[in-house]
Amino acid sequence: MSSRFAYGHNPHSTGHVINTVRTLMRTGGLDVSLTAVARGCGTTRNFLYANWKSASALHLRALRTEVAQAFDTAQRVRPSDGTVPGITAHLTEVVRTVRRHPTTAAVARTSPEAFSAACTATEGPLVQTATERVSDVLHPLCPRGGVWGDPELGSRPWKILWIARPAALCPEAVGDEVRENTLDNAFAELLRDLLAPWSTGAR
């Protein structure tokens, strides 16, 4: 998009458009249309089409923002100290945040097939965003070179994402304390196993 739309509080700014989409998706999921976004933004459908081409492109951008926000929220609630226990607690909080997010439930309700596909997706912008954020969290385990400085550690982000998704993409468990605890504990146990080689004194 042109830089003139990148900043500012006006109907045409990227931030305003994406924030509007995020808000609408929290109830409408993937059923949010360009017309609804245009109405919510105070702009026109033609403007949105000229810059975004489709509602799907807006949905994807909004979801990527929501994933990043989940990590930021977890960092405030349960920050990682860079150790395996700290990373495990932090990523478990990310999983819980995603599961409890209203957008997760709305997408599951409005687009069950797309939601189901998200559980097995191995590539794409949304998976890439999540993998990059997991890589950032793992970086302290290998300060010299980070995740990509250790071939074994480099294989962990996508493996962590693989085991996180069943626990995160389960909005029907929200409100059931036993079920949520089971999901969180199972994820944390698998994560500890994956990161065991980087536990204190293990390497």
Per residue in 68-115, pLDDT tens?
Answer: 999 999 999 999 999 999 999 999 999 999 999 999 999 999 999 988
Low-confidence ranges of the chain (pLDDT < 70): 1-9, 11-12, 200-203
pLDDT at 147: 84
pLDDT at 9: 60
Query: The tokens 């739309």 sit on which residue?
Result: 5
pLDDT at 203: 52
pLDDT at 12: 66
pLDDT at 11: 64
Give me the sign of the Cα torsion angle 64, 65, 70, 75: positive
pLDDT at 120: 80
